[in-house]
Structure 1
Amino acid sequence: MPPPRWCAQSLEKPKLTIAVGGKNLLYYLPLTIAETQGFFKAEGLDVTIADFAGGSQALRAVVGGSADVVSGAFEHTLNMQAKGQPMRAFVLQGRAPQIVMGINPKAMPGYKTLADLKGKKIGVTAPGSSTNVMANFVLAKAGIKPGEVSIVGVGAGNGAVAAMRAGQIDAISNLDPVITLLQRSGDLKVISDTRIVAEADKVFGGPMPAGCLYAPQGFVEKHPATLQALSNAMVRANRWIQAAGPGEIIKAVPENYLLGDRAVYIDAFMAAKGALSPDGLFPEAGAATAARALQSIDPTLKDTKFDLAGAYTNEFVRKALARAAKG
């Protein structure tokens, strides 16, 4: 059904591009559901999703002007603030990072503690992405500095699985379905798992907002109706996921997301479901948690006074939830 004509006309930018780093990841499942279930279209939006190897590259696409909005990790909004390029997040996809760090049991059969990772090769989706931040954060707890390991970009799909199985990396910081696939084949021993909300809160010392939609502050100010439409679609997707069974999820995602194994994808979905946002709202303490995480791994940010309230807004999501409640 085409959107009502007034709807498309009232949007400042009905045709837009969202950049994402690893669209197949369960981390970004709400984005995929909003696309495949026609929720963007129902809001009068014509959305193109540009997929990159990692979140840092997706962010570069928006900074460079080839995309309008990022579907990426929340902490990038703070990083960009520190660089004088303020970004604002406006709808949450994940209430925990879902990133899992683990070692390669073949490459490190004698692994005992995190200290054993010093000097090792660690695979991340892309250098500078949230998987890299998580790796640095976990290593910092063992007193290992970022320069004391080799960070290798392996992507978020079959390439990451192959790198681990071939022994090209000693450890990995990645997401589902990659993690579940490696676990099931015995190619991964988990050392930190932020798919579990309580464990993520413990690792980061508070609620750590994860995947979200964010855009440059100027774009947010100029396109309120467009952002409202995007938020409506994403909130609808968040709610759809919470009510969906594994069979419905399998039907709703492209075949190539399954990495050749439906059972693995279902296991991965069940492991990640609790970490996905049920409503799209950012937790009040989330920005402060993300700022602490960034400052603990990046000495140049140690004295930065972040505008935490400016990093996100719940305004659009609250309106979307009010509309959904009216049904």
Structure 2
Amino acid sequence: MRINRLAVAAVAVVPLAVLALAGCRDSRTATTSADGTPQVKIMVGGINKVIYLPAMLTQQLGYFKDAGVDVQLSDEPSGASAENTLVAGQVQGVVGFYDHTITLQAQGKCIKSVAQLAKVPGEAEVVSNQATGLTSAKDFAGKKLGVTSPGSSTDYLTQYLATKNGVPVKDYTTVKAGAGSTFIASLTNGGIDGGMTTDPTIAKITSKKLGKVLIDLRTEEGTKAALGGLYPASSLYMDCAYVDANKDTVGKVAGAFVKTMKWISTHSAAEVADKMPADYAGDDKALYVQSIKDSSPMFTTDGVMPAGGPETVLDVLGTFSDTVKANKSKIDLTKTYTTEFTKSGQ
């Protein structure tokens, strides 16, 4: 990703290495810029993925600056790694999957979603045109299935789909396929028969006829059919102690995201694409617009957690995450998210 042209923006994108070298100060401690503006570092679990589009779009629209907060966005392709940076105190927030808040609570840590960006995963199980006998999740047995990384949200969702359709997890092979070009390479060279991924990767695969969508978790309809309910995914989550100690700052950041979600709901995919950095579309702007259009149904319009969503996520994790399974009865879902900042109208 080319990021040097953004260096002078009000909200800068900085690599993880810069954050690590910035000093030993724990970023869960509130900081301000020279003019007294609150500073917030947010790690995004794949900043150019459509599922996390609201983070960069909020910057591009100028809503962080309008809210009076200096936000630094940084990129970490793996959601699990992004989570680790928050726990280590290198950042104050993460734009990643809500399910990490549940997993971390099972480990004795309090993390909560303060703005819910998506009500469904925004992902799809795609299968290679070369794969034979793979027409539904019932056919997962004996297949090589790609996930972002073991223990990731894509991994747990794949396990859930398999088991729900009568295929034990041990009967298929899990392959770390990453995302983007690495995922596409695995799909085309036989490294995987199918796998769970997001747009714009999905759009590239289908447009080039390298594969097809088998199970679509980008829409409410598809998600309910596959998982039995809504599965809130991309969100802005933060350490509970930081949230409690910095409500004014958190309210400003969450409020900026809410403005963005409303903006997305009232503008076309082409208009959204036009606001994003030009290099996000690569050499095919039309394909990027299509990927936004295909995935936009996943977004909330108000940043509020959808009713019943946390229960679905807990059901999935409580079945396949050993950590959550061992502590499922102790999980307090009310501590994994808050609507205080999104329902307040800030």
- Do they superpose with TM above 0.5? yes
Task: Compute the displacement of 1:13 (Å).
Answer: 7.7
- Cα distance change of structure 1 residues 287 and 89 upon mapping to structure 2, 3 Å threshold: same
In 2: Cα distance, 1:121 partner to 1:42 partner: 47
* Number of the residue aligned with 1:35: 59
Does residue 68 in structure 1 map to residue 84 in structure 2? no
Q: Measure, in 2, the Cα distance between the counterparts of 1:134 and 1:257.
A: 27
2:229, 2:259 → 1: CA distance?
A: 26
Correspondence 1:249 to 2:278: no
1:270 to 262, 277, 293: 293
Maintained 8 Å contact 2:102/2:324: no
**Structure 1's 162 and 111: CA in aligned 2 closer, same or farther, altered over 3 A?**
same
Mapped pair 1:311 → 2:333: no
The answer as to whether partners of 1:126 and 1:154 remain within 8 angstroms in 2 is yes
What does residue 144 of structure 1 align with? 167
1:214 aligns with 2:229: no
Deviations along 1:190-232, one digit per CA (max 9) or x if unpaired, are: 2210111122123222221111001121111111111101111
159-168 vs 22-31, which deviates more? 159-168
Equivalences for 1:148-297 in 2 at 5 Å? 148-297=171-320
Which deviates more from structure 2 when the two are superposed, residues 111-120 or residues 121-130? 111-120
- Higher mean C-alpha displacement, 204-213 vs 309-318: 204-213
Q: How many angstroms apart in 2 are the aligned matches of 1:212 and 1:12?
A: 27
* Count of residues in Structure 1 that have an aligned counterpart in Structure 2: 314
Higher alpha-carbon deviation: 135-144 or 273-282: 135-144
* Structure 1 Cα separation of the partners of residues 268 and 74 of structure 2: 28
Alignment pair present for 1:57 and 2:71? no
Other structure's SS at 1:88 match:
strand
Residue 163 to residue 254, structure 1, CA distance change in 2 (3 Å):
farther
User: For the residues of structure 1 that align with 2:187 and 2:166, how far apart are their CA atoms?
Assistant: 25
Q: Once the 2 structures are TM-superposed, how far is the Cα of residue 113 of structure 1 from its aligned partner?
A: 4.2
Equivalent pair of 2:258/2:342 in contact (CA under 8 Å): yes
Q: Cα distance, 1:185 vs. partner? A: 1.3
Q: Percent identity?
A: 29
Instruction: Rate the CA distance shift 1:300–1:14 in 2: closer, same or farther, 3 A.
Output: closer
* Amino acid across the alignment from 2:319: S
In structure 1, distance between residues paired with 2:290 and 2:150: 27
> What SS class does the counterpart of residue 86 from structure 2 fall into?
helix
Residue 21 of structure 1 is matched in structure 2 by: 45
Structure 1: gaps spanning 5 or more residues: 3-7
SS of structure 2 residue aligned to 1:318: coil
State the TM-score, normalized to the length of structure 2: 0.84
Q: Which structure ranks higher in relative contact order (CA pairs < 8 Å, sequence separation ≥ 6)?
A: 1
Question: C-alpha deviations, 1:27-65, integer Å up to 9, x for none?
Answer: 111111111111111122222222112211110111122
In structure 1, what is the Cα distance between the partners aligned to 2:139 and 2:297?
31
- Which stretch shows the higher mean deviation, 246-255 or 178-187? 246-255
Give me the whole-angstrom Cα distance separating, in 2, the residues matched to 1:147 and 1:230.
43
Contact 2:137 2:165 (8 Å CA) reproduced:
yes
Structure 1 CA distance, aligned partners of 2:83 and 2:283?
29
Q: How far did 1:12 drift?
A: 9.4
Q: Which amino acid aligns with 1:49?
A: L
Q: Report the secondary structure of 2:68's partner residue.
A: coil
Write the distance in 2 (CA, Å) between the matches of 1:81 and 1:58: 16
Q: Distance in 1 between matches of 2:247 and 2:328?
A: 29
Paired position in structure 1 for 2:19: none
Q: Which SS does the other structure have where 2:161 is aligned?
A: helix
Change (3 A) 1:12 1:197: farther
Deviation for aligned residue 1:88: 0.7
For the residues of structure 2 that align with 1:249 and 1:112, how far apart are their CA atoms?
34
Check whether the contact 2:106–2:323 (CA below 8 A) recurs between aligned residues.
Answer: no
Q: Which residue of 2 aligns with 1:5?
A: none
Q: Find the partner of 1:135 among 142, 148, 158.
A: 158
CA offsets 1:58-106 (integer angstroms, 9 cap, x no match): 1011112211111111111111111101211110111111110121121
